[in-house]
A and B are shown apart, each in its own frame.
Chain A
Amino acid sequence: SQTIHQWPATLVQPVGSPLSLECTVEGTSNPNLYWYRQAAGRGLQLLFYSVGIGQISSEVPQNLSASRPQDRQFILSSKKLLLSDSGFYLCAWSVLRGGNTIYFGEGSWLTVV
């Protein structure tokens, strides 16, 4: 069966520090991969999605970036965090193409102080 894991689960970082959240999917190949942020009162905001290695689509201009160095690995990064980057970040995957269900990871709580 397919599984998705993301880490770390909780992170407290000072303003201006770098960020790296990792996500891996097991049990499937060539998935669509997504990064979402869930902030209070703003629902789920799509940040990045990827349909293949090295293919990243950015939905929201900001100081975050994403990379997909391997088929089932998706990384969310920042060089310098802002206070406004605090939130709950969710990695997700779905089968490539078609109207298939999207599956979410456990989420990562980021607090920028």
Chain B
Amino acid sequence: AQSVSQHNHHVILSEAASLELGCNYSYGGTVNLFWYVQYPGQHLQLLLKYFSGDPLVKGIKGFEAEFIKSKFSFNLRKPSVQWSDTAEYFCAVKVNTDKLIFGTGTRLQVFP
């Protein structure tokens, strides 16, 4: 069965530190990849997505993610985090059957 793994359950950083959140999926076919973010008390919202083309995608608020097909990975990065980036981050994979499968999420805390 398809699955999405996020290896970092809880990440604590200081402001200006660099961020990388891991995401791996298990599915051999064509996938679309997403990162969603949920700020405290708010709805889930799309951060960035990959459908095809350039495997390095840029999203809102300075986030980017790189799709490495050979590694089945779609890691999220940001060179310098801010306190306002404190949130829970979810990686998601959409497979051919229109199922959108989420990882378990990574809670990011950024301290000033």
B100 A43 Cβ-Cβ under 8 A: no
B90 within 8 A of A: yes
Give the residues from 61 to 106 in chain A that come closer than 8 angstroms, CB to CB, to chain B: 90, 92, 94, 96-97, 99, 101-102, 104-106
* Given known A-B contacts A90-B44, A99-B94, A104-B43, A43 and B99 have beta carbons under 8 A apart: no
Cα-based distance from A46 to B99 in the complex (angstroms) = 8
A96 B100 Cβ-Cβ under 8 A: no
Majority-rule SS of A interface residues:
strand
Task: Tally chain A residues at the interface, Cβ within 8 Å.
Answer: 25
Give the residues from 79 to 112 in chain B that come closer than 8 angstroms, CB to CB, to chain A: 90, 92, 94, 97-105
B102 A43 Cβ-Cβ under 8 A: yes
Q: Say which residue of A46, A105, A106 sits within 8 Å of B102 (CB atoms).
A: A46
B24 within 8 A of A: no
Least CB separation from A59: chain B residue: B99
Residue of A34, A46, A107 most packed against chain B (CB within 10 A) = A46
B73 within 8 A of A: no
Give the residues from 23 to 80 in chain A that come closer than 8 angstroms, CB to CB, to chain B: 32, 34, 36, 41-46, 49, 51, 57, 59
B49 A99 Cβ-Cβ under 8 A: yes
B102 A32 Cβ-Cβ under 8 A: no
> Hey, which chain B residues are within 8 Å of A104, CB to CB?
43-44
Cα-based distance from A46 to B90 in the complex (angstroms) = 13
B51 within 8 A of A: yes
Least CB separation from A39: chain B residue: B104
Q: Say which residue of A46, A92, A94, A96 sits within 8 Å of B101 (CB atoms).
A: A46
Least CB separation from A105: chain B residue: B43
B-binding residues in A (CB < 8 A): 32, 34, 36, 41-46, 49, 51, 57, 59, 90, 92, 94, 96-97, 99, 101-102, 104-107
Task: List, sorted by A's number, 17 A–B pairs whose CB atoms are closer than 8 Å.
Answer: A42-B104, A43-B6, A43-B102, A43-B103, A44-B44, A44-B92, A46-B99, A46-B100, A49-B98, A51-B98, A57-B99, A59-B99, A97-B98, A99-B94, A102-B46, A102-B100, A107-B43
